[in-house]
Amino acid sequence: MIRINNVLVSEGKGGVYGEKMMDGYRVWDPYRSKFAALAMKRKDIDLPPESVVLYLGAANGTTVSHVADYVDTVYAVEFAPRPMQDLMAVSERRKNIVPIMGDAGRPSEYAMLTEPADILYQDVAQPDQTGIAIKNLPLLKDGGILILMLKTRSVDVTRSAKEVFEASILELEAGGLVVEDTLWLEPYHHDHACIICRKKEISG
């Protein structure tokens, strides 16, 4: 990841959503992007340039555009029509973004439009966030990385954020994932946690 004076940036043509520029780089604001918040809190996080990313919950393409500045290809899945319009406009400026209108909970509907992903990145505001991640695992390479941005209040408002977080970890492990790291995204995003997992490699 590229940093200038501890400011996270990405290399690409600016003016995607009115972002600031610094020395010719696009400033990646951790208060607007949960991935940027992750990168600010965990300095060793990386987006290898040869990576293929399956991005669930692409919204209007703000974070997608920055990810695309780093990696080979981003398959960006979004369900809502209005954000999809913005995502389409962003994809016109980034030829390595493949916008897909689809329901992240139904990966069979868009599986034929993607290729095996090195990184599965999920940021969806639905109750069954861990279930959605597990359903999409067939689209992730063995040994690939899942980065789940857990919106605890979208899962269950009757339980504490900590309880939702701990239950989600257990569900991911039961789904065949190895949890490698967890962290809360404070002060950038309240009641949001990041769970980083690796998909088990099938031996033989």
User: What pLDDT, on the 0 to 100 scale, is given for residue 110?
Assistant: 96
125 is in an annotated binding site: yes
Domain range spanning residue 142?
A: 30-199
Query: Whole-model pTM?
Result: 0.94
104 is in an annotated binding site: yes
44 is in an annotated binding site: no
118 is in an annotated binding site: no
The answer to whether residue 154 scores a pLDDT higher than 90 is: no
193 is in an annotated binding site: no
Locate the DSSP E strands across 31-110.
52-56, 73-78, 97-101
User: What pLDDT, on the 0 to 100 scale, is given for residue 165?
Assistant: 86
| Mean pLDDT, residues 20-35 taken together | 95
The answer to whether residue 204 scores a pLDDT higher than 70 is: no
174 is in an annotated binding site: no
Q: Is residue 3 part of a domain?
A: no
Q: Is residue 2 part of a domain?
A: no
79 is in an annotated binding site: yes
Q: Is residue 18 part of a domain?
A: no
Q: Is residue 4 part of a domain?
A: no
Q: H or E element: which one contains 170?
A: helix 161-174
User: What pLDDT, on the 0 to 100 scale, is given for residue 20?
Assistant: 94
> Dihedral of CA 16/21/25/28: which sign?
negative
Domain count, the chain: 1
For residues 32, 38, 40, 42, the Cα torsion angle rounded to the nearest 10 degrees is 180
Lowest mean pLDDT, pick from 54-58, 126-130, 188-192, 200-204: 200-204
* Burial class of residue 78, CB neighbours in 10 A (0-12, 13-18, 19+): buried
Q: Is residue 133 part of a domain?
A: yes
pLDDT in tens, 104-132: 999 999 999 999 999 999 999 887 899 99
